[in-house]
Amino acid sequence: MAGDADDSDDHPLYLKGIEYFNECEFFEAHDTWEELWTEYRGPSRKYYQGLIQAAVALHHFGNGNVRGARKVYLTSRGYLEQYAPAYKGLNLESFLDQYEKCFAEINASEEPNARIEIDPELIPEIHLDPAYSSPDVD
């Protein structure tokens, strides 16, 4: 599944979700990508699902729900890894590496209800390859 599919009709919601994600507005990123995912039936469906779940995992982590964050983190990686090394302008290898570092303490903990706070310096961001063509986001 690796590669770039041309799903030009999805760009505005895809990009708006990225904007929210990079602002650490993970619930809004989730909602935006879910709006896209709900109607979409193309080759990027599981990719969007992975992004949705990454946003949910970070939302849970930020709210102290370590158990929920760990669970959704693992499923989100499963979806996104299918599209590596890069997809729709995103270097997934780099993103997944950042994502893994952000969740390292959670994943290393054997305590299901551990009190682990998210390190703002480790929160991954999504930066698209400048060669990825996309329309302006409102």
Domains of the chain, first to last: 10-122 (1.10.3450.10)
Residue 6 phi, psi dihedral angles, 5° rounding:
-95, 95
* pTM across the whole model: 0.88
- Amino acid in the structure at residue 64: G
Digitized pLDDT (tens) for each residue of the chain, 138 residues in all: 443 444 444 579 999 999 999 999 999 999 999 999 998 999 999 999 999 999 999 999 999 999 999 999 999 999 999 999 999 999 999 999 999 999 999 999 988 778 999 999 999 999 999 887 654 444
Element (H, E) at 61: helix 45-62
Report residue 98 as tokens: 């950042």
